[in-house]
Structure 1
Amino acid sequence: MNSLTDSTPVARRRTPLNRSQIVGFWGAWAGWTLDGMDSFIYALVLTPALTELLPRSGFAATPANVGLAGSILFALFLVGWGLSFIWGPLADRFGRTKVLAGTIFTFAIFTGLAATSSNVWELGIYRFIAGVGIGGEWALAGTYVAEAWPEDRRKMGAGYLQTGYYAGFFLAAALNFTIGVHFGWRAMFLTGAVPVVVAILILLRVKEPEKWQKAEANAVQSKPLREILGPAYRRRTWVACILLTIAIIGLWAGAVYEPSAVIQLATRAGMAKADSIRMASVATGLLSIATIIGCLALPPLAERIGRKKTLAIYFAGMAVSIVGSFGWAFYLPNGLAPFIAWLCVLGFFGGNFALFSLWLPEQFETRVRATAFAFCTSFGRFVGAGVNFLLGAAVLHMHTLGVPVALTALAFVIGLFVIPFAPETKGEVLPQ
């Protein structure tokens, strides 16, 4: 009898990843990273781009016009994001990797074309179409990782994947700190064309997940959009839509207006224009690092206490940190340092998006999973576009951006009352 063997627990070994799973993950991660970079480039170059393009379009480049035009263009971008639900049914029909590559190719090409804009109308069109591509990337990347990775790894895979988006924020801030300051906003948009290489890599090197291949082989003719809105899935679909809408409102309220807020606070503190822009880049980098930490902390917490409790903690943290940063620190006489400190807290709880990468695939079967993911995210983006437009109007009317952004904390309070209606999937395997 071997007492050592009897008394020592056997260490659990995680399932090793094969080459296709590794390459596929890094392809999805890189696409999501460059997606985040592309999204945030607009926030960083908003003022210089519109200052140049508004006069060419027949409008004065006043701060009020820049703010209003910026909000309208960003709302158009979010509408493009909303229309990205078209990618979900395509991925359920033709495969995850091909359509994922298509989303990356779309946003890369039209982000690069934005550098050629000669007026605000052209910039709006390019950003709208880029938004359609960007909006589909998360749904397809999240679906791919959930299906391709082994069951004992996919939860942390969702956290790893979500870090890419905020790594993209950090990359955009670094590019703005170097390329943006020295070469201008057009050069920043040109860097957004780089993801074409990632799209080609995904097409050539990554296989379809086995779960999708099996589902496709056994598939009966169905209409996935009708199915997720039918009796079997209706409740979880609409609850997920509401929760994602709240998360998107908070993300974009904070992220879009963060650089402008930092620039205003830095200017108020006596910094020169170039130094204020650099400070905005530094603040964005800190926000990104904090969010990456929040993404990595989330999957273990969700495994320990459950999906619903974890989201409640992150939503409560978002509400408090939005009020603390935009409602309080922004109005302090020397508010730059406190504002940036609160941004780090805001960033950590902004990692709530990692939960959706983990949780949404667990709620739907393979044959409708990509459609459900894309539909729920798109719904939130449509509402987010409307809220962003209202925020821009409120900023213009109130002549301040702090209070309007701080009021978005109310959305997270509402979210705390919606979370109990969602299904708890802790301990469940990914449904086939």
Structure 2
Amino acid sequence: MAAPSTSARPWREEISKYQWAVLFATTLGWALDGFDSSLFTQVAAPATADLLNRPSTFHTGLVVTLFLAGWATGAILFGAVADYIGRVRVLIIGVLTYSVFTAATVFVTEYWQFALVRFIAGIGSGVELPVGAALVAEAWNNRHRAKASSVMMSGLAIGSLLSALVYYFVGGLGWRQTLAFGLAPALLALFIRRHIHEPATTAEVKAQRAARRQERAAGAAKTADDRFVLNQLFSRPLVGRTVACTLICCGALFAFWGVTTWTPQIIRVVVANRGVTGEAAVPYVSWATAALNVGGLLGYASWGFIADRIGRRRTYAMSLLIGITGILALYPFADSYTTYLWLLPVVGFGVFGVLSGNAVFFPELFGPSVRASAMAVTNSIGRFLTAAGPLFAGAIATTWFDGNLARATAAVSMLIVIAFIGLWFTPETHGRFLYSGAPTSSDHTSHTTDRMADARQPEAT
């Protein structure tokens, strides 16, 4: 395949119907994934209280943690499978799994059933990001790849906004009726099956693996590329990039799950102090969730456009600093609902933007034979390590912060600074696929970074 086009043709002429279909399917899939998870966080506290016959921040945090653990497990499992059998079939399996089991939550009668169903839904939910991001990166083999990846990531915020709208209208009916809407994503599987085929890189990787099997059968020596994909990610020359990207994910996810999990409950506390409780609080929670996700939508969608202008690493730094500023200005100090409505978009723009960067940047660091696995592993290790964040915030709110959940959320979310460590050890890609060859001194000014990062050579796109 040819290198990315730099011609002066109108940009629409550079994009095929297949590329548009891939972008539509992955954006909608990620939107419905966000719809499911955001809808759940808005009803997690009342659902837990109903099933336990008492409110419990610990058990609310626990069920969110189990969902994240399922997400990470499913991502690693299906990400590796996608690197061997292809992206499309795995994407369909994931969509069906998280939609069916979200809807199945309606029928649970015990808390342990609630937790189990959410764990299984998480397994399906984990497929969308690594496989969808790999599919977009490989299908959009032109100069618009970063923008397309950002648009795909904006789907998460679109879905979360949609969930806020649904909760606004049906939240008063009860948490079961609200979660019944989780079955909607199943319809996407039909579209994917009908309109999306595997990108050319999938066939190329399969052909290369078949050729290597024949060579090995003829007596050729085993090479690093012959190893199982997960082994490759934790061996040279890829291990440095795997670790660096994982650190970025860890920092981003501590903040993301801290603010998305607990903001609805924090808003309930804020309005309860003014006498607004029960079903009367539903519109307030809905609008606050919408405000967070409006900022998130802008952060997601703009990341690729900004990164094409100023570079990936500078855009990461910008998103991180905005997220940190928003968190510190809001959660430790604000006790006004109006203040939350003004500052939640700032938090969303910064924190969500970092995750968009992962979808743009990480595929450029890993080759097509390990790309979905790399996206899955780096995000999933981050999720395993940060899954206890919501649980921890709920626990320390009582023990360290005199019951102040907002300050506890700020403390956990500030672990976003870990992302700066990973960012230091990654090269600037300038929009190219860089994953083979010998290191160059231009990767980073630090010699340590050169040792951690493998080479910068453009992948044929």
Greater Cα offset, 16-25 or 92-101: 16-25
Unaligned runs of 5+ in 1: 1-9, 56-60
Correspondence list, 1:173-322, <5 A: 173-181=164-172, 183-219=173-209, 220=212, 221-322=226-327
Aligned to 2:367: 365
Report which stretch shifted further, 103-112 or 201-210. 201-210
Residue 359 of structure 1, CA deviation? 0.4
Work out which of the residue numbers 103, 109, 120 in structure 2 matches 1:118. Answer: 109
Equivalent residue number for residue 426 of structure 1: 430
Measured after TM superposition, the shift of residue 340 of structure 1 is 1.9
Aligned to 2:446: none
Name the aligned partner's letter for residue 120 of structure 1.
Answer: Y
Change (3 A) 1:351 1:427: closer
Q: Which SS does the other structure have where 2:334 is aligned?
A: helix
List per-residue Cα deviations over 1:312-348 (Å, max 9, x = no partner): 1111111111111111113xxxx11112211111011
Structure 2 residue 358 is the aligned partner of structure 1 residue 352: no
Residues of 1 paired with 2:425 and 2:181: CA distance?
A: 42
Match of 1:80 in 2: 70
Deviation at 1:272, TM superposition (A): 4.7
Given candidates 132, 149, 162, the residue that maps to 1:171 is: 162
8 Å contact kept, 2:250–2:416 = no
TM-score for the superposition, normalised by structure 1: 0.91
Please provide the CA RMSD for this pair. 1.7
CA distance in 1, matches of 2:324, 2:251: 11
Q: Secondary structure at the match of 2:69?
A: helix
**In 1: Cα distance, 2:152 partner to 2:143 partner:** 16
Q: Is residue 2:148 matched to residue 1:148?
A: no
1:386 Cα deviation from its structure 2 partner: 2.2
Partner residue in 1 for 2:396: 394
Shifted more, 416-425 versus 234-243: the winner is 416-425
Question: What residue in structure 2 maps to residue 5 of structure 1?
Answer: none
CA separation in 1, counterparts of 2:116 and 2:421?
38
Shift of 1:210: 1.2
SS of match in other structure, 2:136: helix
Of 415, 420, 424, the match for 1:416? 420
Amino acid at match of 1:188: T
- The percent of aligned pairs where both chains have the same amino acid is 27
Partner residue of 1:48?
46
408 and 68 in structure 1: CA distance in 2 versus 1, 3 angstrom threshold:
closer
Q: State the alpha-carbon separation in 2 of the partners of residues 405 and 17 from structure 1.
A: 43
Are residues 48 and 387 of structure 1, via their aligned partners in 2, closer, same or farther at CA, if it must alter by over 3 Å? closer
**In 2, Cα distance between equivalents of 1:421 and 1:190:** 44
Q: Give runs of aligned pairs for residues 23-102 of structure 1, distance below 5 A.
A: 23-55=21-53, 61=54, 63=55, 66-84=56-74, 85-102=76-93
Q: What is the identity, as a one-letter code, of the residue corresponding to 2:325?
A: V
Q: 2:3 corresponds to which residue?
A: none
1:200 CA displacement: 2.3
CA distance in 1, matches of 2:136, 2:77: 20
Q: TM-score, normalised by structure 2?
A: 0.86
Structure 2 equivalent of residue 158 of structure 1: 149
- Per-residue deviation at 1:415? 2.6
Unaligned 5+ segments in structure 2 are: 1-6, 213-225, 434-457
C-alpha contact (below 8 Å) 1:37/1:170 kept by paired residues: yes
